[in-house]
Structure 1
């Protein structure tokens, strides 16, 4: 497995297609953090993100097994596109599902508290991440999406443009305005990370 660490994504894919399961493990471990974090920031729910992440892995493995992978040299953008599409599919499905409302028109799942905060919520790093997430949630969807794909998935603006069906200049503009809006929120609320 140590010899797999120096191999490129394409080499690992070909090794997996030839039957080497440890090559797939190396490939997944190499990119799992970027994939999972991007999914989490898009769906904003840890458990849902884990489910979608598992679906992404299944789709990747199935595609590789049947030999339909054709994105030579671009594994991560390809995997990110799968993750993005599965998140979009989830939101489409949710829109078609009626929400259960309380008498004061609030979503029942916003009222019910399923989990208790653990000790780790008190940690400084966690608080900073929570602040950033909350501020990201306040951004327009197109700006939030570009920031997540750029900073958490580390995609290029060309890859972001292809993934979001916009021009590179539009992706750059969305990033610029998103960062301006984040800075403005931070100064208005005196937030220091």
Structure 2
């Protein structure tokens, strides 16, 4: 049903329907924003900037989009590449997620979405993973994507995506078991 709905919206966009753009952004903005928040170690301002960049890239490239798979795979591929390119160009310091980073309006929504992951130990453990494993774990467990979709989004084979998730989980387990981590 979602694929059909996306197909209809994207066809309207390709025909110049501005309301369809609004519908598409409304449908996917929060998902992409919170993916960026997690990739940016909780920096909401940076996540907002990256989310805007992602949707601008979508605007620039929507005319070339072909319905060869799920649209959200295409959108997440743009998101993953945009975040990866940003972090390759600029090394950022990992920061802790605190309420002071979040405006009041974002705070309630962020608390709702990040409810379980705000436990500092889990967040620090996740942030300690290598980027490719962290990315795979975030896509799998925070965005409920299938391994096949993660493989498509990240441009690797299914076995590599599975391996990244498995290795990431093993490392998370080890980090969380270490007493010196506390």
Where has structure 1 moved over 4 Å in runs of 4 or more? Answer: 115-121, 123-128
- Give the superposition deviation at 1:22: 2.2
Structure 1 residue ranges without an equivalent (≥5): 100-106
Q: How does 1:4-153 map to 2 (within 5 A)?
A: 8-44=5-41, 45-64=43-62, 67-94=63-90, 116=100, 128-131=117-120, 132-153=122-143
Shift of 1:128: 4.3
Query: What are the ranges of 5 or more consecutive residues in structure 2 without an aligned counterpart?
Result: none
2-side partners of 1:33 and 1:19: how far apart? Answer: 24
Question: Is contact 1:41-1:133 (8 Å) kept?
Answer: no
Contact 1:136 1:144 in 2 (8 A): yes
Considering only aligned residues, what root-mean-square deviation do their CA atoms show, in Å? 3.4
2:147 matched residue in structure 1? 157
Distance (whole Å) between structure 1 residues aligned to residue 9 and residue 69 of structure 2: 11
The correspondence for 1:170, drawn from 139, 160, 163, is: 160
TM-score (normalizing by structure 2): 0.74
CA distance in 2, matches of 1:58, 1:116: 28
Q: TM-score, normalised by structure 1?
A: 0.70
- Structure number with bigger Rg: 1
**In 2, Cα distance between equivalents of 1:172 and 1:186:** 21
Aligned residues: 168
Residues 39 and 176 of structure 1: CA distance in aligned 2, closer, same or farther (over 3 Å): same
